[in-house]
Amino acid sequence: MELVKSIPEKCKLCYACIRVCPSKAIKIEDNYAKVIHDRCIGCGNCISVCAPKALEYFDSISHVKALLNSGQKVIAICAPSISGEFSDITSRRNFVGMIKALGFKNVCEVAFGADLVALKYKELFSNFKGKYYITTNCPSVVYYIEKFHPGSLTNLAPIVSPMIAMAKVVHKKYGADAKVVYIGPCTAAKMEAVRITGDGKVDEVLTFVELRKMFQEVGITENTVEYSDFDPPHGGKGSLFPISRGMFQSVGINEDLLTGRLISTEGRYNFLEAIKEFENLQTLKKHLDLFYCDGGCIMGPGTSPNGQKFDRRTLVIEYTKKRLDSGNKEEWQKNIDEYLKLDLGRDYQIDDQRMEKPDEERLAKVLKALGKESEQDHINCGACGYQTCREFATAVSQGLGKPDMCITFNIKNKQDYIKTLKVTNEKLEKTRQALEESERAALIEKEAVKEMSNTTNVMLQKIPSGVVIIDKELKIIQSNKGFISLLGEDAETINEVIPGLKGADIKTLLPSTVITLFQYAINSDDGVENRDIQIGNQLLNISIFPIKKGEIAGAVIRDMYLPEVRREEVMHRITDVIDKNLKMVQNIGFLLGEGASETEQMLKSIVNSYKSENKK
């Protein structure tokens, strides 16, 4: 049976459930606490300590409702600890009336089953023949030994629990076809009910918390029902059963420290230590009466939270006194004699869930990783849920524990993290300062580039020749006044709306012959230099050069008919002629002698005459 289930979205990974689980049946997987059902002993500790309510036990309410609506005879058997739980209900008769109002045919006391079981223990302990036993009234104790101490299995007392004993009584008195619902403080009882068959079968188990929910759902209070008493057979001193040692006092089992052979203990740590010593020590020649819950069944996981242990203990004792004062001893004895003939024996089965322990080498590595390399580091604080650091390291190596569960490991890691964080923060601060400095430098550079761009733009506009820069789509990126003047009045009108003709398609402004030159230049490394092109009445000299291959190209265009351009170009080209002739003259000079000097003087005079005219 999967008694406990996880609610992943609620889990906060606090490890509280892992720390308190005696069988280590919980591990962290996929970022939530996951129950290992085969290892669970049903103690309910994990549910009690889980603040975000990420763990919950199997809810039997719907199953009980189905039984009550089935038309069958359903009988409730109530654990003796009801007197400690339902202190808010003034009378036991009112309480019984409330249960019957839910639809139960009869309501009986498990205290009578506890009376029968106590007498069986007295008989067993009186004739134990040197063999010592562990009581089996607590299902969690039984499951723990079956799963983790199978060597002590034969020491489990062969006696049923009070719940099963009372189920046997009910089936004999009220019929084998009766359906039995146990109402008590124990979640492990839900697991026990599943594995018992025959005349001791319990069909469903309700915790006290679940019973309260059922009362609330249908609005049942003690003022809305008729009172009723428990149905026979009635219990006696077995009402002390939920208190540690109470049941054995009820039948006079000797607990004297000097002569008695019984040790009673309760609570998770005592329960674990008692089983360990019972199995390992030959000097511990005592019977063990064990309760998993601290304080006994009155503090079970199925009781209302925040209950006070000693207050509940007192209420149980007072309730038992009242029952004994008002009870019929002769009738009780008659019932005991009759039902003590029932078969109250049982057997157990090994369900070994022990895991192979790691070798010393592996264990040493884990301890070193935990910072517990030397014995002095083994503080054995138990905060992780294990009694020693060595046991915890074993669990880590088996995959049942995580290093984070160790407080000292966590503290050390946090300290290391703080140091690392401090160093990181210092580096981040230096990086921030460097970024600020870089940002300031970038701002200065940006301003310088902006100023340079403005200067370049002014210079570009002052150049008399036409200058234009285009992108690969042949759209104008930038142009100067000289270029716009070359294009004519239409371009100058457009320039008034779109300065520099930015974004204009040059294909619409220049003839195809020029466009071809632009396309060539933008896709090559060479470009075009000093190409003369006749456009209408204009003779243009065009130089196109790539700025970014395949992306951007620029062009310088001059109108050759402008006087200043004509004179400049004539001088430039005559100079070219002179340079070329000089080279030729040098070669011919050897043949013609001084005739070359006369030619040079003639050409220079032509140049000088143009220069003088230009100055004028």
Q: 113-160, pLDDT tens digit by residue? A: 999 999 999 999 888 888 899 999 999 999 999 999 999 999 999 999
Written as six digits, the tokens of 520 are 């060539």
pLDDT tens per residue across span 442-481 = 888 878 767 776 776 777 777 778 888 888 888 988 888 8
Its pTM stands at 0.68
pLDDT tens per residue across span 539-566 = 888 888 888 888 888 888 887 777 655 5
Q: In this structure, what is the dihedral angle of CA atoms 468, 469, 472, 477, given to the nearest 10 degrees? A: -100
Report whether 188 contacts 138 (CB < 8 A).
Answer: yes
What pLDDT does residue 570 have?
52
Distances (CA, A) of 428 to 433, 434, 437, 438, 442: 9, 10, 14, 15, 20
pLDDT range class, residue 594, cuts 50, 70, 90: very low
Statement: residue 180 has pLDDT above 80: yes
What pLDDT does residue 591 have?
47
Which of 200-204, 222-226, 279-283 is the most confident on average? Answer: 200-204
Q: Comparing 19-23, 198-202, 281-285, 600-604, which segment has the lowest mean pLDDT?
A: 600-604
Written as six digits, the tokens of 218 are 């249908």
Please provide the average confidence, as pLDDT, over all residues in the chain.
86
Q: Which of 44, 59, 54, 41 is nearest to 8 (CA)?
A: 54
> Quick one: DSSP state of residue 234?
P
Separation of CA 467 from chain center: 66
Q: Which of 395, 334, 341 is nearest to 366 (CA)?
A: 395
What pLDDT does residue 569 have?
56
pLDDT tens per residue across span 301-338 = 999 988 899 999 999 999 999 888 888 899 999 999 99
pLDDT range class, residue 499, cuts 50, 70, 90: confident
Q: Give strand pairing partners of 106.
A: 75
pLDDT tens per residue across span 416-427 = 778 888 888 889
What pLDDT does residue 483 have?
83
Report whether 137 contacts 166 (CB < 8 A).
Answer: no
Q: In this structure, what is the dihedral angle of CA atoms 398, 400, 402, 405, given to the nearest 10 degrees? A: -130
Handedness of CA 302, 307, 308, 310 (dihedral sign): negative
* List of residues 6+ apart from 565 with CB closer than 8 A: 541, 558, 559
